[in-house]
Amino acid sequence: MTAKVLLEVKNLHAGIDGNEILRGVDLTVRAGEVHAIMGPNGSGKSTLAQVLAGNPAYTITTGSAQFLGKDLTALKPEERARDGLFLAFQYPVAIRGITNAYFLRSALNAIRKSRGQEELGPVEFMDGLEEKLKLIGWDDSYVSRPVNDGFSGGEKKRNEILQLAVLEPKLAILDETDSGLDIDALKTVAHTVDKLRRPDSATVLVTHYYRILTHIMPDYVHVLSGGRIVKSGGKDLALELEEKGYDWVRDKAPVA
């Protein structure tokens, strides 16, 4: 029996300010899978992540994207999030004066509320948070700090993973979560993501580098170049890319 399809992207074209960046992306992600999307700078990796999350700065021109059978374009960003689509941002933003704990609880409660679940009070929430903090190797001093305010690059990335752990999405898109992390932090983050895998959820890793894939084994590796997926394969493809660079696949890219 094949696993449930979570995300189905077909011939997706999208851009920003009139510039087309994605030029026909096809991607199918099923429950339980880990996909790695690799590719050189400017190939459209982050655009794909932002478009799927619903960033209003981007416009979809043609093609379709379905999440859990629903047309993504008909859903507001917050509705996508409540349905279980999570994006770990490449550049997480800071929110002054709002503690991490408050932010996380508000987000979790917004999601719970949309599903008809009871909202969590501060005490109940903190009880559950302890364990998630442990996963990423943080003490609770981080939860009383303002969201990403004064955080180092690495701390911000780790904070994204803490949010991932708390919100338990169906589909997690990690946009270059590995860049800017030192080796130890990378290991912690990767192991956390790996531990959070569930048979009913999937992960899409957007990355430049092979190294995170040594910690989270992908089921599929895709190479994005010139706004479309030019090659897909198993985990071995990542290793091949690591050795040969992107040029050899880029050369194979069909003429746009």
Partner 1 sequence: MSTGIEAQVLQPYKYGFVTDIEADVVPPGLSEDVIRLISAKKGEPEWMLEWRLRAYRNWLKMPEPHWANVRYGPIDYQAISYYAAPKKRPQLESLEQVDPKLLETFEKLGLPLEERKRLAGVAVDAVFDSVSVATTFRETLAQQGIIFCAISEAIREHPELVREYVGSVVPYNDNFFAALNSAVFTDGSFAYIPKGVRCPLELSTYFRINTSATGQFERTLIVAEEGSSVSYLEGCSAPIRDEHQLHAAVVELVALDNATIKYSTIQNWYPGDEAGRGGIYNFVTKRGKCLGKSSKISWTQVETGSAITWKYPGCILQGDNSTGEFYSVAVTNNRQQADTGTKMIHLGKNTRSTIVSKGISAGHGQNTYRGLVKILKGAEGARNYSQCDSMLIGDQCGAHTFPYIDVRNSTAIMEHEASTSKIGEDQIFYCKQRGLAAEDAVNMIVNGFCKEVFKELPMEFAVEAQRLLGISLEGSVG
The minimum distance between CB 98 and partner 1, in angstroms, equals 4
74 binds partner 1 per the rule CB under 8 A = no
60 binds partner 1 per the rule CB under 8 A = no
* Integer Cα distance of 39 and 253 in angstroms: 12
Question: Do the strands 95-99 and 85-88 form a parallel or antiparallel pair, or are they unpaired?
Answer: unpaired
Tokens in use for 114?
Answer: 């949309």
* Integer Cα distance of 137 and 26 in angstroms: 37
How many residues sit close enough to partner 1 to count as binding (CB under 8 A)?
A: 30
DSSP states of 7-37 as a string?
EEEEEEEEEETTEEEEEEEEEEEETT-EEEE
254 binds partner 1 per the rule CB under 8 A = no
Residue with the two structure tokens 């990542």: 238
Q: Which residues pair with 225 in a beta bridge?
A: 228
The minimum distance between CB 63 and partner 1, in angstroms, equals 21
- Phi and psi at residue 102, in whole multiples of 5°? -65, -45
The minimum distance between CB 131 and partner 1, in angstroms, equals 20
Nearer to partner 1, 142 or 209 (CB): 142
Q: Which of residues 137-196 bind partner 1 (CB under 8 A)?
A: 146, 163, 167
Which of 12, 21, 39 has the alpha carbon at shortest distance from 206?
39
110 binds partner 1 per the rule CB under 8 A = yes
- Residue from 68, 75, 95, 135 binding partner 1 (CB under 8 A): 95
The minimum distance between CB 8 and partner 1, in angstroms, equals 20
Nearer to partner 1, 27 or 87 (CB): 87
Nearer to partner 1, 31 or 107 (CB): 107
Which of 228, 227, 216 has the alpha carbon at shortest distance from 238?
216
Which of 212, 203, 205, 163 has the alpha carbon at shortest distance from 185?
212
The minimum distance between CB 219 and partner 1, in angstroms, equals 25
93 binds partner 1 per the rule CB under 8 A = yes
Residues lying near partner 1 in the complex (CB under 8 A) are found at: 53-57, 76-78, 80-82, 86-87, 89, 92-93, 95-98, 103, 106-108, 110-111, 114, 146, 163, 167
